[in-house]
Amino acid sequence: MSLRYITLLSLICAGCTSFGGAEAPNASHQKNILLLCIDDLRPELNCFGATHIHSPNIDRLASGGRAFHRHYVNAPSCGPSRYAMLTGRYPVKGRGNEQLRVRAKDVAEDPAGVPPSMPEWFRMHGYTTVSVGKVSHYPGGRYGNGWADESLPELPNAWDRHLMPVGEWENPLGAMHGYANGKKRIKASGENFVYESVEGPDTIYPDGLIAEEGVRQLEELATGGKPFFLAIGLIKPHLPFGAPKKYLDLYDGVAIPPIPHAGKPAGQTTWHGSGEFMGYNRWGKDPRDDQAFADEVRRHYAACVSYADKQVGDILAKLKETGADRDTIIMLWGDHGWHLGEHSIWGKHSLFEEALRSPLIVYYPGIGKAGQESDAVVETVDLFPTLCNLTGVDVPDFTQGISLQPLLNDPAASGHGAIACWNNKETIRTDRYRLVVHPSGAVELYDHTSPEKETLNIASVHPDLVVTLKMKLRKQLER
């Protein structure tokens, strides 16, 4: 298979920003950062309680670090969720998936008026910053024709090297929704199957190439003499659910657990008709009324999770081989959750728990109480200040998150509320409740200590609690 790259070299001085920089600290005292972003990964991992899932590499990472079992993203879609992760700020209402694209235009129009992104901030503080795969919204981080126009970066000034291996898929757009062996999704084609499984090595799908490039970058960065910030973004388990057959074979004869609260919810909620999923060729089947097909879809999702887990394992093995693991903070993050039939939804884009809860694992040598999980409520905007604290880099005052360092020292420490928004609807998740506020004024209130959880709206019987949580939501958005 031929290997082609779309690359971008940032040539703009990293210190040229009105938000101020700092002289590069002594590299010998600086921790490296390895950020692993996995697309559409809900907590469908053995270490998060999905015991039917084969995920030994991520499980091993969790066993030596801190798995946050109640981490919530700030939007149930790739673009705004990654905006929150990469800027430390809540998504802007009305921008939807175009958060980073609009921000890039704002930077072009007023470079001094837009705070630096997280990788830019670390670059300003002496780090070599490299991105491989899907880290921002578009794989390769560009929003031009085929997402390959080098003049349109989503994160201006962020990366020293920005790489997207595309192989036979020819461009990032082709790789994003790629089938095996270079076949691309064509929307008008009846060949756009919702899942597939093909014999072959890991590189017959794009993530095999992304992991290989990530390994190459690790080898170079480990001997570069400077601290590095390496972000690697894997595409699976994003639709279509395709992975080499050996990963589907892991689930032969494995019992798939029943879908909890699978019925369509009553009343006004953020339920939707699963348009992204239903747009694929499903051979005339619908998992909402065909249990056998639902289980088959879930097996293919599981196969994609195991495929992604293998790529994570290869990357972590190379990190250890270089010796840089002794000086590296590893952060594994899922960009949002994904419904596999809960609330009769197959996809994301809701404000239910399933679309907002995603895996977060932090590892570094010497972490307090290694292997103990945290059940504190935390959110994606917390990642930026956390990495600053762990590396000794100044925490910028424009971030809206709260550092997770206390929870990394002690998993029993307290969390805080988690905010998310989508289509002008907003939600806050606290330790016990979820409140959803609609533009019409309608509200949903759910008690997670009750057996019904997010199937019983109790807003009408707790009006004072609704008011309290609305005030908490507003206050948190404004911090």
**Catalytic site positions:** 78, 137
245 burial (CB, 10 Å; 0-12 / 13-18 / 19+) is middle
Tell me whether strands 128-133 and 378-379 are parallel, antiparallel or unpaired: unpaired
Please give the structure tokens belonging to residue 33: 């950062």
Angle between helices 99-109 and 78-87 (to 10 degrees): 50
Cα-Cα-Cα-Cα dihedral of 232, 87, 161, 331, to 10°?
-30
Counting runs of H as helices and runs of E as strands, what totals does the chain give? 13, 18
Are residues 133 and 147 in contact, defined by beta-carbon separation less than 8 angstroms? no
DSSP of 117-137: PHHHHHHHTT-EEEEEESSSS
- Residue 164, SS3? strand
Angstrom distances, CA of residue 102 to CA of 37, 143, 243? 22, 11, 33
Phi, psi of 66 (to 5 degrees): -130, 115
* C-alpha–C-alpha distance, residues 56 and 58, integer Å: 6
Contacts of 432 (CB under 8 A, 6+ apart): 447, 448, 449
The token pair that represents 222 in the structure block: 């480990």
Looking at residue 472, what DSSP letter applies?
Answer: H
Q: Is the separation of the CB atoms in 82 and 135 below 8 Å?
A: yes
366, 383, 320, 120: CA torsion to nearest 10: -120
- Residue 217, H or E segment: helix 206-221
Q: Which helix (H) or strand (E) holds 290?
A: none
